[in-house]
């Protein structure tokens, strides 16, 4: 896929009539008797799907967090943070079960420079996580650069990717930073003067102020409102869907919002364990942090964490031990599982198991017998850990 996104010229959102949906990493178009099938392959070749010579609106999108199988749409009045009329309508796209799928705003604003203004009409879309999803121009509208020169397809692609960069330096520039001071007094978008070199690589050439304005619309107050509304609608099922998002930032977003908001159901528990046993340490760390302490008494969750400990590397083993220290109780299966691991461990993982056993005063006969055997280990580190446990914990057992 060119630039990590896709474009469609034609159709409309949804799954019926002349409306359309975006699923996973591609676009599908339904309506007007034309279809785009296997879009991933087509976009990989062309970077866009277009109805040439059509008056249909221009759309450019990134990968969606959720399959956009839109069944309904509702309107919400939000505070956009704009001066003057700060209220605007946010459109929420919903699934058949009324779960939020995405959001968009119909924006009409002016892009101005030195008293010269140009009207910008654009529909901006956000994923439920607040991540930029895409933009759509109303029928007959197009973006233009200096002297009203229309954007080329590659410039639309560039803009789409710029808008997808939440960490863009555009967030640190003020409106006055966009062109050198010597160029002030030029025409719209700095036509008569050069764009500031610090800004140039972060904007579409010839459309400095348009790029800047759209980026700040994407990452302004509306994005905060999108995240707030989704947070209020979070369910275990929606979190599970987000944990399957092709974009890792969506998964991070969901994991950081589970605790104190979403109950850990069996379905969510399995999804969290899948993340913990995955290939990403940072996601595993967040998944473990997301599990509330009162959920750690669950037998199946403890067994899942034991499996993660056994299969995980040094760093993950430490995270699992630290999380289990929060449990209300250790069940006998978990204790037995760790007991069988004692012969295989050394260093910090072994010390971690001893700390865990000590926290919960594990003194059952089978565990004590295993630890006494370790006290005779030729490895002095292991022998000392075992001796200290027997001295400090086992000696106090009733």
* CATH number of the domain where residue 299 is located: 1.25.10.10
The number of domains in the chain is: 2
Looking at the domain assignment, is residue 266 inside a domain?
A: yes
Phi, psi of 359 (to 5 degrees): -60, -40
What's the distance, CA 334 to chain centroid? 33
Report the alpha-carbon distance of residue 255 to residue 248 in Å, rounded.
Answer: 11
Retrieve residue 24's tokens. Answer: 């996973």
The pLDDT of residue 195 is 57
Report the alpha-carbon distance of residue 48 to residue 67 in Å, rounded.
Answer: 19
User: Residues, the chain, total?
Assistant: 398
Q: Mean pLDDT over all residues of the chain?
A: 84
Angle at 174 (CA atoms; ends 172, 180), nearest 5 degrees: 110
CA distances 320 to 248, 258, 273, 333, Å, are 22, 18, 11, 16
Range of the domain at 73: 2-223
Looking at the domain assignment, is residue 380 inside a domain?
A: yes
The pLDDT of residue 116 is 79
The pLDDT of residue 228 is 98
Looking at the domain assignment, is residue 54 inside a domain?
A: yes
Specify whether 270 is located in the same domain as 201: no
Specify whether 207 is located in the same domain as 247: no
Residues 6 or more apart whose Cβ sits within 8 Å of residue 283: 248, 251, 252, 255, 275
The pLDDT of residue 239 is 98
User: Which of 200, 223, 246 is the last residue before a domain boundary?
Assistant: 223
303, HSE (Cβ side, Cα atoms, 13 Å): 6
SS3 31: coil
Looking at the domain assignment, is residue 230 inside a domain?
A: no
Specify whether 151 is located in the same domain as 257: no
Specify whether 207 is located in the same domain as 313: no
Specify whether 6 is located in the same domain as 153: yes
Strand 26-29 and strand 72-79: the pairing is unpaired
Retrieve residue 192's tokens. Answer: 């008569």
User: Which of 177, 199, 223 is the last residue before a domain boundary?
Assistant: 223
Specify whether 213 is located in the same domain as 254: no
In what helix (H) or strand (E) does residue 225 lie, and over which residues does it extend? helix 221-233
Report the alpha-carbon distance of residue 296 to residue 122 in Å, rounded.
Answer: 48
pTM of the model: 0.82
Specify whether 15 is located in the same domain as 162: yes
Report the alpha-carbon distance of residue 58 to residue 250 in Å, rounded.
Answer: 26
Residue 356 contacts residue 338 (beta carbons within 8 Å): yes
Specify whether 131 is located in the same domain as 195: yes
Report the alpha-carbon distance of residue 143 to residue 128 in Å, rounded.
Answer: 26
Stretches in the chain below the pLDDT threshold 70: 1-55, 83-86, 114, 180-196, 396-398
The pLDDT of residue 85 is 61
Residue in the block written with tokens 């959920």: 295
Residues 6 or more apart whose Cβ sits within 8 Å of residue 224: 130
Name the strands in the sheet holding 100-113, side by side, starting at the edge strand that comes first in the sequence: 49-50, 5-9, 58-62, 132-136, 116-127, 100-113, 87-94, 72-79
Specify whether 111 is located in the same domain as 140: yes
Specify whether 262 is located in the same domain as 129: no
Sign of CA dihedral 289, 295, 296, 298: negative
In what helix (H) or strand (E) does residue 7 lie, and over which residues does it extend? strand 5-9
Report the alpha-carbon distance of residue 9 to residue 177 in Å, rounded.
Answer: 34
The pLDDT of residue 201 is 83
């Amino acid at each position: 896929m060119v630039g990590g996104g896709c474009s469609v010229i034609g159709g409309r959102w949804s799954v019926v009539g002349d409306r359309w949906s975006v699923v996973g990493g591609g676009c599908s178009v339904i309506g007007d008797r034309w279809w785009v099938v296997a879009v991933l392959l087509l976009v990989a070749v062309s970077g866009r799907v277009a109805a040439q010579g059509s008056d249909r609106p221009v759309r450019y999108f990134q990968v969606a967090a959720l399959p956009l199988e839109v069944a309904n749409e509702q309107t919400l009045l939000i505070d956009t943070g704009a001066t003057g009329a700060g209220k605007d309508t946010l459109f929420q796209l919903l699934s058949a079960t009324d779960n939020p799928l995405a959001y968009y705003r119909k924006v009409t604003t002016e892009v101005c420079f030195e008293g010269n203004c140009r009207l910008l009409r654009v529909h901006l879309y956000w994923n439920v996580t607040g991540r930029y999803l895409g933009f759509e121009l109303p029928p007959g509208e197009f973006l233009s650069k200096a002297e009203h020169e229309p954007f080329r397809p590659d410039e639309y692609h560039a803009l789409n990717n710029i808008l997808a960069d939440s960490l863009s330096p555009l967030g640190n520039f003020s409106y006055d930073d966009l062109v050198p001071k010597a160029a002030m007094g030029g025409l719209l978008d700095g036509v008569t003067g050069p764009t500031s070199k610090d800004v140039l690589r972060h904007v579409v050439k010839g459309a400095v102020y348009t790029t800047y304005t759209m980026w700040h619309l994407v990452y302004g107050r509306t994005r905060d409102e999108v995240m707030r509304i989704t947070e209020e609608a979070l369910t275990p099922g929606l979190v599970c869907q987000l944990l399957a998002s092709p974009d890792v930032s969506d998964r991070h977003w969901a994991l950081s919002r589970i605790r104190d908001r979403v109950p850990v159901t069996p379905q969510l528990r399995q999804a969290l364990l899948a993340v913990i046993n995955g290939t990403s340490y940072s996601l595993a760390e967040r998944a473990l942090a997301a599990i509330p302490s009162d959920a750690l008494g669950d037998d199946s969750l403890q067994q899942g964490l034991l499996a993660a400990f056994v299969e995980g590397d040094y760093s993950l083993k430490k995270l699992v031990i630290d999380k289990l220290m929060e449990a209300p109780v250790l069940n006998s299966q978990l204790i037995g599982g760790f007991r069988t691991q004692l012969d295989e461990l050394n260093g910090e993982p072994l010390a971690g198991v001893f700390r865990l056993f000590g926290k919960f005063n594990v003194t059952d006969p089978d565990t004590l017998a295993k630890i006494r055997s370790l006290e005779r280990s030729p490895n002095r580190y292991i022998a000392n850990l075992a001796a200290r446990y027997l001295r400090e914990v086992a000696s106090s057992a009733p």
